[in-house]
Structure 1
């Protein structure tokens, strides 16, 4: 089987992937793919996976993640990294603190591409940057959609962690971890093992790992 390339500059993501997929199953691939602008994570990750697959020619895994605050209409969402760099975590908390309802989610979408078609399954398949519900209720010999010939299909796997926006607490983690509380503890107050056990990326990796084992 070809090597599975996790496209990231963050070795921590690769270590987390190894926990779910095995130490010999995945390798880091440092590739600066084009990050398109979109209001959802799926199209961003899918575009990156297609571009990365065309670069390396072997199976690739790309992720995109973000913090979604319900009372702020899902902001910062797919723009989380940009907002962190330009607006800052403290200002995001200031916005959320003005709201009575402070529910939020960390979400991650993994996109897998290996240049081949996929069997129907309950997980979504993205074709040409459109997320299509893959196969529930569709007959096996019926096409999942009308994608143009040559389009690279991408398999998407999603994970999410529910939480609450709170005033900054904790010295660990990074990014929005100090203002995101899960089960009474901010992510910045958790050690790495506990954080990885409940992480949105880990939940997406678990789904992917179960499917990939049958691939």
Structure 2
């Protein structure tokens, strides 16, 4: 009986490894149509008539370099050089959170992409372990440019709004290719909580973040 269970678990593990690698390879070229977060939010907003699911995939060539630079400056300034993890940022986040302060994350753009595309939301150890696993996979099989492309097409950028094109239409009534530096910084500034903050009618906190992001963008060189 124990041997049968062991064989079953081994087969299950091998199937998971195989399917996870296959899915990562497929999404190396195929647009991600929907993510677990989009589905969970859609169910959450089910009774809200004015909230749907706005998502319009576009290739990275149609996303302004200003937005690419803005999210790197705001979310992950070592994105182009790390291998998926920023251990220094993770250590700082751990020290911050261990003091009982408001929870602060240390996730890279690669980690956020792995979580958004392949996993559910949450802070369990199982989810974090799987996030690390998928982060390693996308760093192996995808280029940095592809990671950025998937990230900018999948991330939540407003209530019921996902991806750069949908966000730019929602907030600025223009295409993602046409974003100015200030507009791009506005979207990047709200990413910590895009359901709470507004890049257009901004609070003083978001305005300060915009200014800081614009200043940091000048140091970002997009060398994929």
Same fold by TM-score greater than 0.5: no
Which has more helix, going by share of residues? 2
Higher strand proportion (structure 1 or 2) = 1
TM-score, normalisation: structure 1? 0.25
**Of the two structures, which has the highest relative contact order with CA contacts closer than 8 Å and spacing of 6 or more?**
2
Q: TM-score, normalised by structure 2?
A: 0.24
